[in-house]
A and B are shown apart, each in its own frame.
Chain A
Amino acid sequence: MTQRTRNWLLLAPAGAWFLVMLIIPLSVVFIFSFGERAPAGGVVPAFTFEQYANLPARWTAFKNTMTLAPIGTLSALLIAYPLAYFLAVKTNPKWKTILLVLVIVPFWTSILIRSYAWIFLLGGRGIPALLEYIGLEGVRLINTPFAVLVGIIYGYLPLMVFPIYVSLDKLDKRLLEASSDLGAKPWRTFVQITLPLSIPGIATGCMLVFILLMGEYLIPALLGGGKVFFVGNALVDLFLQSRNWAFGSAVAVTLVVVMLITVTIYMRLISRLGASREDVSIM
């Protein structure tokens, strides 16, 4: 058996899998997006751009996603960075592993159950009740964009902390020492050495979180009370309520295209910022 045949054989299962479970389904979605809604729901084959022309009807969902996804990513970054820095630079190595594991543990509980905890915490008997206690009455948190944002940050914080931690941990501590020996203020050391060197970690973390947020359904569904709608919610609605497969397919195709464009632009920006593209790996 030549090496060539062997490689082909090794690739065959994965290739077949991708063909049946990725290429064919995505092609069906693409084809359906040019179809028409069947009277009772579903799709009838056609060739029309009607579905795409109807996209403005979901403008708000796209707008919500395209605002809350970057805001969520950025907020997670702002909260995660100091923690990652603390863990990588300031923590006694003895405690490092345990503290790091403690960051990941919540991520290992179902996001459903974690969001459900927030339904209670943000609901009338949770934080608002506490606020009432100190005299702030009538604060409403649940079913607002703020609630969704809290859920997002909470859900994806570990994903942000981890890559940043890894890049900061790789950083040569002697560099920092040298910098302060040369009389640089801690702030300057941070801006000129630490921050630039941690950009690959930031980039990876942001991309991970951003990608997941673009397709988010659960957190807005549970914490947004049907009022904060992401594209993901619009999709579930189209397939599981109004049964408009044709329009749903068009929205799905658009979401994927928007995502690919955003991520490509993002990667260009990052590589211009100095991180090489290889550093921005998915995992």
Chain B
Amino acid sequence: MRLYAACVYLFLYIPIGVIALFSFNAGRHASQMQGFSTKWYGKALSNPFVMDALETSLMVAFSSALCASVFGTMAAVALQGIKGPVRTAFDMLIYIAVMIPGIVIGIATLIGLVTVFDQLNPLIATLWPEGFEPPKLRMGMGSLIAAHTMFLMALVVIIVRARLAGMDRALTEASSDLYATPMGTFLQVTLPTIFPAILAGFLLSFTFSFDDFIIAFFVAGSETTLPIYVFSSIRRGVTPEINAIGTMVLAISLLLLITAQLLLQRGAKKTR
């Protein structure tokens, strides 16, 4: 049994080890080790396109995780008190948003938005005051954040709702019996209870967005996210720069993961 587990761990870590190993390659090929060097880390960090892609990815991940957490939590709370067709419709939408493959979301968003923009842009141009350059709607960071937020929001609703369902009704009832305003009840009773779930939803959303390739591939317009950069580099014939980027991303996510774990443990203790 233990041997089996060790084998699975080997399977999981050999490829990562290979990536990390070649990131220290002194040669310029990603498949032949030619001495030890950290130069590819320097190269990656001083490459403005890598840094730009990283910045774009972080921006997109942070914005969409934030929007998803806020709007998702709002929806989850509201759905607690709603029954009937609206509730059913929302449940359906959430189900569809999570179920539909990323590639279909990417394609649908691309052709949907391109079609809508083609209709709207001339309209905006005619409405715009003479002499000013009318704004032009198009694919880019906005559309990418919007697409990510859409399916991440569904994820947050599911996570937060699970926590809300496990919450003791008596607590909120007691609170309103004590004449707390609904807002007060929410801030002092509900929010602290569901906060770990919101945080978990935020972190999960952040990772999903940061890692997403396929939606961004279609929706990002002229923006380049880190996964898009990596994808086009893999096709270009890779240098160890890509390995260095991968190793750094892994190290940073590991750090974030541990931090999040510690935060969640603390949060769990508090609410207990």
Q: Knowing A3-B182, A112-B234 touch, does A211 contact B162 (C-beta < 8 A)?
A: no
Contact assessment for A217 and B112 in the assembled complex, using a CB-CB cutoff below 8 Å = no
Q: Knowing A11-B90, A259-B101 touch, does A154 contact B15 (C-beta < 8 A)?
A: yes
Majority secondary structure, B binding face: helix
Q: Looking at the complex, which one of A24, A102, A106, A215 makes contact with B116 (CB distance below 8 Å)?
A: A24
Majority secondary structure, A binding face: helix
Q: A211 to B105, alpha carbons, bound, how many Å? A: 13
Q: Looking at the complex, which one of A10, A18, A112, A283 makes contact with B74 (CB distance below 8 Å)?
A: A10
Contact assessment for B257 and A113 in the assembled complex, using a CB-CB cutoff below 8 Å = no
Contact assessment for A10 and B75 in the assembled complex, using a CB-CB cutoff below 8 Å = yes
Q: Mark B208-226, 1 if CB is under 8 A from A, else 0.
A: 0001011001100000001
Q: Looking at the complex, which one of A87, A109, A123 makes contact with B253 (CB distance below 8 Å)?
A: A109
Which A residues between 70 and 94 are near B, CB-CB below 8 angstroms? 79, 82-83, 86-87, 90
User: Is residue B164 within 8 Å, beta carbon to beta carbon, of the partner chain?
Assistant: no
Contact assessment for A113 and B249 in the assembled complex, using a CB-CB cutoff below 8 Å = yes
Q: A45 to B143, alpha carbons, bound, how many Å? A: 24
User: Is residue A239 within 8 Å, beta carbon to beta carbon, of the partner chain?
Assistant: yes
Find the A residue at minimum CB distance from B99.
Answer: A211
Contact assessment for B112 and A157 in the assembled complex, using a CB-CB cutoff below 8 Å = no
User: Is residue B113 within 8 Å, beta carbon to beta carbon, of the partner chain?
Assistant: yes
User: Is residue A191 within 8 Å, beta carbon to beta carbon, of the partner chain?
Assistant: no
State the Cβ distance, A56 to closest chain B Cβ, in Å.
20
Find the B residue at minimum CB distance from A8.
Answer: B78
Q: A23 to B32, alpha carbons, bound, how many Å? A: 49
Contact assessment for A86 and B4 in the assembled complex, using a CB-CB cutoff below 8 Å = yes
Interface size of B by CB at 8 A reads: 83
User: Is residue A139 within 8 Å, beta carbon to beta carbon, of the partner chain?
Assistant: no
Contact assessment for B101 and A214 in the assembled complex, using a CB-CB cutoff below 8 Å = yes
Which A residues between 33 and 59 are near B, CB-CB below 8 angstroms? 43
Q: Which residues of A are found within 8 Å of B246, using beta-carbon distances?
A: 109-110, 113, 116
Q: Which of A162-170, A174-182, A198-206, A248-256 contacts B (4 or more CB under 8 A)?
A: A248-256
Q: Which residues of B are found within 8 Å of A222, using beta-carbon distances?
A: 234
Q: Which residues of B are found within 8 Å of A239, using beta-carbon distances?
A: 107, 110-111, 218
Q: Knowing A10-B74, A90-B1, A113-B249 touch, does A18 contact B12 (C-beta < 8 A)?
A: no
Contact assessment for B101 and A255 in the assembled complex, using a CB-CB cutoff below 8 Å = yes
Contact assessment for B250 and A109 in the assembled complex, using a CB-CB cutoff below 8 Å = yes
State the Cβ distance, A84 to closest chain B Cβ, in Å.
10
Q: Knowing A18-B93, A255-B101 touch, does A116 contact B74 (C-beta < 8 A)?
A: no
Q: Looking at the complex, which one of A11, A97, A121, A125 makes contact with B75 (CB distance below 8 Å)?
A: A11
Q: Which residues of B are found within 8 Å of A32, using beta-carbon distances?
A: 111
Q: Which of B42-50, B130-138, B149-157, B166-174 contacts A (4 or more CB under 8 A)?
A: B149-157
User: Is residue A101 within 8 Å, beta carbon to beta carbon, of the partner chain?
Assistant: yes
Q: Which residues of B are found within 8 Å of A248, using beta-carbon distances?
A: 107
Q: A27 to B214, alpha carbons, bound, how many Å? A: 20
Q: Which residues of B are found within 8 Å of A23, using beta-carbon distances?
A: 93
**Most chain A Cβ neighbours within 10 Å, of B12, B100, B108, B234:** B108
Q: Which residues of B are found within 8 Å of A111, using beta-carbon distances?
A: 211, 213
Offer 9 A-B interface pairs, CB within 8 angstroms, sorted by A.
Answer: A14-B90, A28-B115, A97-B261, A99-B5, A108-B207, A113-B249, A116-B246, A215-B102, A282-B98
Q: For the complex of A and B, list the 5 residue pairs with the smallest distance between their C-beta atoms, beginning with the closest.
A: A215-B101, A25-B112, A117-B15, A10-B78, A25-B108
Q: Which residues of B contact A (CB under 8 A)?
A: 1-2, 4-5, 8-9, 11-16, 18-19, 22, 30-32, 71-72, 74-75, 77-79, 81-82, 86, 90, 93, 95-105, 107-113, 115-116, 146-147, 149-150, 153, 155, 157-159, 162, 182, 207, 211, 213-214, 217-218, 226-227, 230-231, 234, 238, 242, 245-246, 249-250, 253-254, 257-258, 261
Q: Which residues of A contact B (CB under 8 A)?
A: 3, 6-8, 10-11, 13-15, 17-18, 20-29, 32, 43, 79, 82-83, 86-87, 90, 97, 99, 101-106, 108-114, 116-121, 123, 125, 154, 157-158, 211-212, 214-218, 222, 232, 235-236, 239, 245, 248-249, 252, 255-256, 259-260, 263, 281-283
Known: A18-B150, A26-B100, A282-B99. 15 other contacts (CB 8 A): A7-B82, A11-B79, A14-B74, A22-B150, A105-B253, A105-B257, A108-B207, A110-B230, A114-B16, A116-B238, A214-B101, A236-B217, A256-B101, A259-B100, A283-B159
